[in-house]
């Protein structure tokens, strides 16, 4: 059984050379620090080759932008789906750096180059998605303090919603059965009725119409948040 030949950076050269030659460029390999340089009249194109899309490649390519605005990076076709989030995020980053992207696929002895996109100017006035920005600010405003460690992924995260649930549970323990209206008066906010009705964590129980209490599950689980319990109890005492 023939061992599959390992792809080298040099294997990317020929299909890219053929592409730019067909476009009317004179193409040269290894010019100064450039893997590929192509020229037509006064137009200069530089292509940097690597076996994967790495920080090293991006740094290398952005340095070539000192020579020309027309800088491409070229890599073998990735194994992951081009519809995947990872691919979409990588393309966004490359575009953000105002680089072009080329991929080369290998099937047997055949090599096929695909132009994913050309270098384009990325607007410095970045289009901020207002609703996403507002959701971040709203989440921050809904928290009383910072209870999470940045970078945590496998630990329980304290959200503004959960903190609101803890606040409601705290007041139900302190004052007994209460109506949503009374809870709002204590400062639990406009989402109080929705939180009690949805009962996401199973902490609340409707005693009768418009009156709620805390469940045994709720009493047990909110003990995990002593700092918040103290904070909200002190807050109520201050307002009395």
pLDDT at 143: 64
Task: State the pLDDT at residue 149.
Answer: 44
**Cα 103 to Cα 94: distance, rounded to the nearest angstrom:** 13
Task: Write down the domain spans for the chain.
Answer: 9-117, 155-239
CA distance 200 to 32: 63
**CA-only gyration radius of the chain, Å:** 29
Q: Which regions of the chain are under pLDDT 70? A: 1-4, 123-129, 132, 136, 138-140, 142-157, 238-240
Strand locations in 2-122 (E):
26-31, 34-40, 43-49, 70-76, 100-107, 110-117
- For the domain 155-239, what is the CATH code? 1.10.10.10
Question: What is the reported pLDDT for 140?
Answer: 66
Give the separation between CA 69 and CA 120, rounded to whole angstroms.
9
What are 217-230's pLDDT values in tens digits?
Answer: 999 999 888 888 88
CATH topology of domain 9-117: Trna Endonuclease; Chain: A, domain 1 (3.40.1350)
């Amino acid at each position: 059984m023939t061992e599959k030949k390992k792809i080298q950076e040099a294997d990317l050269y020929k299909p890219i050379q053929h592409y730019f030659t067909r476009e009317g460029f004179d193409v040269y390999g290894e010019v100064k620090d450039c893997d590929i340089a192509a020229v037509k009249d006064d137009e200069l194109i530089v292509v940097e080759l690597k076996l994967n899309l790495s920080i090293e490649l991006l740094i290398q390519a952005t340095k070539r932008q000192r020579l020309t605005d027309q800088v491409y990076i070229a890599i073998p076709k990735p194994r992951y789906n081009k519809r995947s989030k990872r691919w979409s995020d990588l393309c966004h980053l490359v575009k953000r750096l105002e680089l072009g992207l080329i991929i080369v696929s290998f099937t047997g002895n055949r090599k096929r180059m695909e132009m994913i996109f050309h270098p384009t100017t990325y607007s410095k006035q970045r289009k901020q998605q207002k609703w996403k920005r507002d959701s971040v600010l709203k989440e921050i405003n809904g928290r009383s303090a910072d209870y999470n460690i940045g970078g945590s992924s496998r630990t329980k995260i304290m959200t503004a919603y959960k903190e609101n649930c803890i606040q409601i549970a705290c007041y139900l323990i302190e004052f007994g059965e209460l109506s949503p209206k009374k809870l709002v008066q204590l400062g639990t906010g406009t989402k109080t009725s929705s939180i009690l009705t949805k009962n996401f964590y199973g902490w609340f129980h409707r005693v009768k119409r418009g009156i709620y209490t805390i469940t045994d599950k709720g009493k047990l689980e909110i003990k995990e948040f002593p700092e918040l319990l103290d904070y909200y109890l002190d807050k109520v005492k201050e307002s009395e």
